[in-house]
Amino acid sequence: MSYPSGDRRISVLEGVDCTVHAGTSLSIRGESGCGKTTLLNLLAGLETPDSGAVFWDGTPIGGLGRSELARRRGTFIGLVFQSFYLIPELNAADNVLMPARILGKIGSAQRQRAAELLARVGLADRAHHVPAHLSGGERQRVAVARALMNRPRVVLADEPTGNLDEATGEGVMSVLLEVCAEQQASLVVVTHNAVHAARTAEAGFLSRQHLRRDR
Protein backbone atom coordinates (compact mmCIF):
# COMPACT_ATOMS: atom_id res chain seq x y z
CA MET A 1 0.00 0.00 0.00
CA SER A 2 1.38 3.43 -0.90
CA TYR A 3 0.29 7.06 -1.08
CA PRO A 4 1.29 9.90 -3.44
CA SER A 5 3.63 12.52 -2.02
CA GLY A 6 4.64 15.14 -4.56
CA ASP A 7 6.28 13.42 -7.50
CA ARG A 8 6.80 10.12 -5.68
CA ARG A 9 4.86 7.55 -3.68
CA ILE A 10 5.40 6.74 -0.02
CA SER A 11 5.23 3.03 0.79
CA VAL A 12 3.22 2.21 3.92
CA LEU A 13 2.61 -1.55 3.99
CA GLU A 14 4.64 -4.20 2.20
CA GLY A 15 4.28 -7.97 2.26
CA VAL A 16 1.61 -8.03 4.96
CA ASP A 17 -0.08 -11.42 5.32
CA CYS A 18 -2.73 -11.45 8.03
CA THR A 19 -5.38 -14.10 8.67
CA VAL A 20 -8.14 -13.59 11.21
CA HIS A 21 -9.63 -16.93 12.17
CA ALA A 22 -13.27 -17.23 13.18
CA GLY A 23 -13.93 -16.61 16.86
CA THR A 24 -10.41 -15.41 17.69
CA SER A 25 -8.93 -12.06 18.66
CA LEU A 26 -5.59 -10.45 17.94
CA SER A 27 -3.86 -7.11 18.34
CA ILE A 28 -1.85 -4.95 15.96
CA ARG A 29 0.92 -2.92 17.55
CA GLY A 30 3.66 -0.65 16.28
CA GLU A 31 5.03 2.86 16.49
CA SER A 32 2.95 5.85 15.42
CA GLY A 33 2.75 6.28 11.67
CA CYS A 34 3.75 2.72 10.80
CA GLY A 35 0.48 1.86 9.03
CA LYS A 36 -1.73 0.28 11.68
CA THR A 37 -4.84 2.27 10.80
CA THR A 38 -4.15 1.82 7.11
CA LEU A 39 -4.13 -1.94 7.60
CA LEU A 40 -7.42 -1.80 9.49
CA ASN A 41 -8.95 0.31 6.70
CA LEU A 42 -7.82 -2.26 4.15
CA LEU A 43 -9.35 -5.09 6.16
CA ALA A 44 -12.60 -3.09 6.36
CA GLY A 45 -12.65 -2.40 2.64
CA LEU A 46 -12.44 1.34 3.27
CA GLU A 47 -9.23 1.56 1.23
CA THR A 48 -8.06 -0.43 -1.79
CA PRO A 49 -4.60 -2.03 -1.81
CA ASP A 50 -2.17 -1.29 -4.64
CA SER A 51 -1.52 -5.01 -4.95
CA GLY A 52 -2.65 -8.21 -3.29
CA ALA A 53 -6.17 -8.90 -2.10
CA VAL A 54 -8.46 -8.80 0.92
CA PHE A 55 -10.81 -11.73 1.49
CA TRP A 56 -13.92 -11.82 3.64
CA ASP A 57 -14.86 -15.38 4.49
CA GLY A 58 -12.92 -16.61 1.46
CA THR A 59 -14.44 -14.09 -0.97
CA PRO A 60 -12.19 -11.40 -2.51
CA ILE A 61 -13.72 -7.96 -2.09
CA GLY A 62 -11.65 -6.15 -4.70
CA GLY A 63 -14.10 -6.72 -7.53
CA LEU A 64 -17.23 -5.68 -5.64
CA GLY A 65 -19.07 -2.54 -6.65
CA ARG A 66 -19.32 0.31 -4.17
CA SER A 67 -22.89 -0.37 -3.09
CA GLU A 68 -22.38 -4.13 -2.84
CA LEU A 69 -19.19 -3.63 -0.83
CA ALA A 70 -21.02 -1.32 1.57
CA ARG A 71 -23.86 -3.82 1.94
CA ARG A 72 -21.51 -6.71 2.71
CA ARG A 73 -19.47 -4.58 5.08
CA GLY A 74 -22.66 -3.77 6.96
CA THR A 75 -23.24 -7.43 7.73
CA PHE A 76 -19.67 -8.75 7.94
CA ILE A 77 -17.67 -5.98 9.65
CA GLY A 78 -18.27 -3.99 12.84
CA LEU A 79 -16.15 -0.89 13.42
CA VAL A 80 -15.08 0.82 16.65
CA PHE A 81 -13.14 4.07 16.34
CA GLN A 82 -10.94 5.96 18.79
CA SER A 83 -13.10 9.09 18.47
CA PHE A 84 -16.42 7.25 18.87
CA TYR A 85 -18.11 8.90 15.82
CA LEU A 86 -21.55 8.83 17.39
CA ILE A 87 -24.24 10.98 15.76
CA PRO A 88 -24.69 13.86 18.23
CA GLU A 89 -28.39 14.41 17.53
CA LEU A 90 -29.31 10.78 18.21
CA ASN A 91 -29.64 9.14 21.60
CA ALA A 92 -27.63 6.04 22.54
CA ALA A 93 -30.31 3.59 21.39
CA ASP A 94 -30.68 5.23 17.98
CA ASN A 95 -26.90 5.36 17.53
CA VAL A 96 -26.75 1.62 18.18
CA LEU A 97 -29.57 1.08 15.67
CA MET A 98 -27.80 3.01 12.90
CA PRO A 99 -26.10 -0.01 11.22
CA ALA A 100 -29.51 -1.73 10.95
CA ARG A 101 -31.08 1.47 9.63
CA ILE A 102 -28.41 1.74 6.93
CA LEU A 103 -29.39 -1.75 5.74
CA GLY A 104 -33.07 -0.79 5.83
CA LYS A 105 -33.86 -3.21 8.65
CA ILE A 106 -35.66 -1.40 11.45
CA GLY A 107 -38.34 -3.19 13.41
CA SER A 108 -39.19 -4.49 16.86
CA ALA A 109 -36.52 -7.21 16.65
CA GLN A 110 -33.79 -4.67 15.88
CA ARG A 111 -34.96 -2.32 18.63
CA GLN A 112 -34.96 -5.19 21.09
CA ARG A 113 -31.43 -6.15 20.07
CA ALA A 114 -30.23 -2.56 20.51
CA ALA A 115 -31.74 -2.52 24.00
CA GLU A 116 -30.11 -5.85 24.84
CA LEU A 117 -26.71 -4.68 23.61
CA LEU A 118 -26.91 -1.47 25.63
CA ALA A 119 -27.81 -3.51 28.68
CA ARG A 120 -24.87 -5.83 28.02
CA VAL A 121 -22.41 -2.93 27.93
CA GLY A 122 -23.93 -1.52 31.14
CA LEU A 123 -25.93 1.33 29.63
CA ALA A 124 -29.55 0.19 29.90
CA ASP A 125 -30.38 3.31 31.89
CA ARG A 126 -28.63 5.62 29.40
CA ALA A 127 -30.44 4.52 26.24
CA HIS A 128 -32.27 7.84 25.80
CA HIS A 129 -29.29 10.09 26.46
CA VAL A 130 -27.55 11.89 23.60
CA PRO A 131 -23.73 11.61 23.35
CA ALA A 132 -23.20 15.07 24.91
CA HIS A 133 -24.73 13.74 28.11
CA LEU A 134 -22.52 10.65 28.22
CA SER A 135 -18.96 10.29 29.51
CA GLY A 136 -16.14 9.25 27.21
CA GLY A 137 -16.26 5.68 28.46
CA GLU A 138 -20.02 5.56 28.00
CA ARG A 139 -19.72 6.85 24.44
CA GLN A 140 -17.19 4.16 23.62
CA ARG A 141 -19.43 1.47 25.08
CA VAL A 142 -22.25 2.75 22.87
CA ALA A 143 -19.83 2.45 19.94
CA VAL A 144 -19.06 -1.15 20.93
CA ALA A 145 -22.77 -1.97 21.02
CA ARG A 146 -23.27 -0.26 17.66
CA ALA A 147 -20.45 -2.30 16.10
CA LEU A 148 -22.24 -5.51 17.11
CA MET A 149 -25.73 -4.45 16.02
CA ASN A 150 -25.79 -6.43 12.78
CA ARG A 151 -24.09 -9.50 14.26
CA PRO A 152 -20.83 -9.02 12.31
CA ARG A 153 -18.36 -11.83 11.84
CA VAL A 154 -15.41 -9.51 12.57
CA VAL A 155 -15.05 -6.41 14.75
CA LEU A 156 -12.22 -4.00 13.91
CA ALA A 157 -11.29 -1.59 16.71
CA ASP A 158 -8.86 1.28 16.06
CA GLU A 159 -7.32 2.50 19.34
CA PRO A 160 -10.67 2.06 21.14
CA THR A 161 -9.21 3.23 24.47
CA GLY A 162 -6.92 5.94 23.11
CA ASN A 163 -9.09 8.85 24.30
CA LEU A 164 -9.86 7.34 27.70
CA ASP A 165 -8.13 7.36 31.07
CA GLU A 166 -6.47 4.13 32.18
CA ALA A 167 -9.26 2.82 34.41
CA THR A 168 -12.01 3.65 31.90
CA GLY A 169 -9.97 2.16 29.08
CA GLU A 170 -9.55 -1.09 31.02
CA GLY A 171 -13.32 -1.27 31.47
CA VAL A 172 -14.04 -0.63 27.79
CA MET A 173 -11.46 -3.22 26.75
CA SER A 174 -13.05 -5.78 29.07
CA VAL A 175 -16.50 -5.13 27.62
CA LEU A 176 -15.17 -5.30 24.06
CA LEU A 177 -13.45 -8.65 24.60
CA GLU A 178 -16.31 -10.18 26.57
CA VAL A 179 -19.14 -9.08 24.27
CA CYS A 180 -17.28 -10.10 21.10
CA ALA A 181 -16.66 -13.52 22.65
CA GLU A 182 -20.33 -13.87 23.58
CA GLN A 183 -21.40 -12.85 20.06
CA GLN A 184 -18.74 -15.17 18.56
CA ALA A 185 -17.28 -12.27 16.60
CA SER A 186 -13.58 -12.22 15.74
CA LEU A 187 -11.80 -9.14 17.08
CA VAL A 188 -8.86 -7.17 15.69
CA VAL A 189 -7.60 -4.35 17.92
CA VAL A 190 -5.10 -1.66 17.01
CA THR A 191 -3.52 -0.44 20.24
CA HIS A 192 -0.38 1.14 21.69
CA ASN A 193 -1.20 -0.37 25.07
CA ALA A 194 0.83 -3.52 25.75
CA VAL A 195 -1.50 -4.62 28.56
CA HIS A 196 -4.57 -4.37 26.33
CA ALA A 197 -2.77 -6.19 23.54
CA ALA A 198 -1.85 -9.03 25.90
CA ARG A 199 -5.51 -9.49 26.78
CA THR A 200 -6.53 -10.50 23.29
CA ALA A 201 -7.47 -14.16 23.28
CA GLU A 202 -4.48 -15.46 21.34
CA ALA A 203 -2.07 -12.57 21.99
CA GLY A 204 -1.52 -12.82 18.23
CA PHE A 205 0.55 -9.71 17.64
CA LEU A 206 1.29 -8.62 14.09
CA SER A 207 5.02 -8.00 14.19
CA ARG A 208 6.07 -4.41 13.62
CA GLN A 209 8.58 -5.39 10.93
CA HIS A 210 5.64 -5.86 8.57
CA LEU A 211 4.56 -2.24 9.09
CA ARG A 212 6.57 0.56 7.54
CA ARG A 213 6.38 4.21 8.55
CA ASP A 214 3.84 6.08 6.42
CA ARG A 215 3.19 9.75 5.84
Mean predicted lDDT score pLDDT of the chain: 87
How far, in Å, CA of 113 to CA of 206, rounded? 33
How far, in Å, CA of 176 to CA of 161, rounded? 10
CATH code for residues 2-210: 3.40.50.300
How many C-beta atoms surround the C-beta of residue 62 within 10 A? 12
Most confident of 25-29, 43-47, 204-208: 43-47
Residue 5 has pLDDT above 80, yes or no: no
How far, in Å, CA of 105 to CA of 67, rounded? 16
Q: Considering the entire predicted model, what is its pTM?
A: 0.87
Most confident of 1-5, 45-49, 87-91: 87-91
**Confidence (pLDDT) at 214:** 39
Confidence tier at 201 by pLDDT (50, 70, 90): low
DSSP SS3 for 123? coil
DSSP SS3 for 131? helix
How far, in Å, CA of 19 to CA of 16, rounded? 10
**Confidence (pLDDT) at 95:** 98
What percent of the chain is predicted at pLDDT more than 90? 62
Q: Which DSSP string corresponds to 138-189? A: HHHHHHHHHHTTT--SEEEEESTTTTS-HHHHHHHHHHHHHHHHHHT-EEEE
Contacts of 75 (CB under 8 A, 6+ apart): 103, 150, 151, 152
**Confidence (pLDDT) at 112:** 97
Residue 13 has what DSSP assignment?
Answer: B
**Confidence (pLDDT) at 204:** 40
Averaged pLDDT, 202-215: 40
Residue 206 has what DSSP assignment?
Answer: B
